[in-house]
Amino acid sequence: MFVLENGANKGEDSRLQAISEAIRVVPHFPKQGIMFQDITTLLLDPKAFKDTVDIFVDHYRDMDISVVAGVEARGFIFGSSIAIGIGAKFVPLCKPGKLPGEVISEKYVLEYGTDCLEMHVGAVEPCERVIIMDDLVATGGTLSAAIRLLERAGAEVVECACVIGLSDLKVRRKLNGKPLYILLEPRQVENGF
């Protein structure tokens, strides 16, 4: 477990090995060369899933966080559980057309095209302290868009958090100085799990 902020690493937690082993690695999915980190197998292991949520709750419990914003869809799974654990509200950040009513949106560039995140108008109040949760960060593009969206609404983004992430300087640059808290680096295996 570590915080990617000025290169500082956090200490190891004895639960991390079981969490890592509960995540299936699927080689060459969805395309050749990708080692897909499948968190659905983590969700099938109640102890590992609870430990994952508990580590995040322990980290954020005393940080005066009022909002956990979860990125569709896997960020909803972890984010809503963490929000309950720290007594914060949960705000879904969705793909276009998924939220009824008035929304604000933020477009961002992907490797092969563009995408967009949307949030209900009024979901966050100015100056609310927010963490952004997703299951995995690879390039930082989606988290960067989430930061811009929440800051446009007046929120203070305190940190981004992911279960799995790359410890890459390029990712940190995209987050405009916001800390990135990740539990695990991606596992590499030959034949999957």
In the set 12, 74, 102, 106, the catalytic residue is 74
Cβ atoms of 22 and 45 closer than 8 Å = yes
Rounded Cα–Cα distance for residues 170 and 167 (Å): 9
Active site residue 74: yes
Cβ atoms of 82 and 68 closer than 8 Å = yes
Cβ atoms of 52 and 21 closer than 8 Å = no
Q: Give the pair of three-digit tokens for residue 80.
A: 């809503």
Active site residue 111: yes
Question: Could you tell me how many residues make up the chain?
Answer: 193
Task: Catalogue the active-site residues.
Answer: 74, 111
